[in-house]
Amino acid sequence: MSLFEKIDHRRLPSHIAIIMDGNGRWAKARGLERAEGHREGVSAIRRVVEAAIRTSVKTLTLYAFSTENWYRPTEEIDGLMDLIVYAIAKETADLKKNGVSIASIGDLSRLPVNVREALESCIRETEGGRNLKLVIALSYSSKWEITEATRRITGDVIKGVLKAEDISEDTISRYLTTSEFPDPDLLIRTGGEQRISNFLLWQCAYAEFYFTETFWPDFSEEALYKAILDYQSRERRYGKTSEQI
């Protein structure tokens, strides 16, 4: 029996978030430039998107570029931005054909104009997709997101739109950039590191974490199925006892 056949499709994570780590180290291990690792990482995205559709996962969020990544060498950033534009242009038709709807989160104002325009075009062209919501986190960090939400909440309190005493957890969730998506059930990080690097801190309060040594360019359909099976082996109690579940 294949890994896919072992998956219980009645207990799927509805939202999987992935920290795609290890492109640079994958390239270094092969004596290649870091840019080669990023290019191979695009192929891994295609594989995982197809596998997510096959398993009927409804939302997939990919951490593509963090606000901290702006501190990387300029040459690497420029190469990544060019690759993002190329990948979006190349993949849009197939995404649309496969029923994938693109969304984005992050401080998009910091992106180069050509990247922002390519992304906005892809979002428009794929808006009718119903098989998978693919959320691209670009120029994103959770601390930035929570700070921005706090500013907006404060502004609405000052304007009288909100009362301070009425602010709840639900209020904060509504002001986050992810308000239209469910919280992740499963967070995957590739590349061997065991931290979540300022990614969806609020939203992952009760996500199951799955860390793998596999570098992102080597992450396959089977690797995703393995992560889902591991998720299905866990008991999700949300603070309750086993007897209450």
Catalytic residue among 69, 98, 131, 198: 69
Is 69 catalytic? The answer is: yes
Contact criterion met (CB below 8 Å) for 215 and 25: yes
Tokens read off for 200: 């969806």
Give the residue numbers marked as catalytic: 21, 69
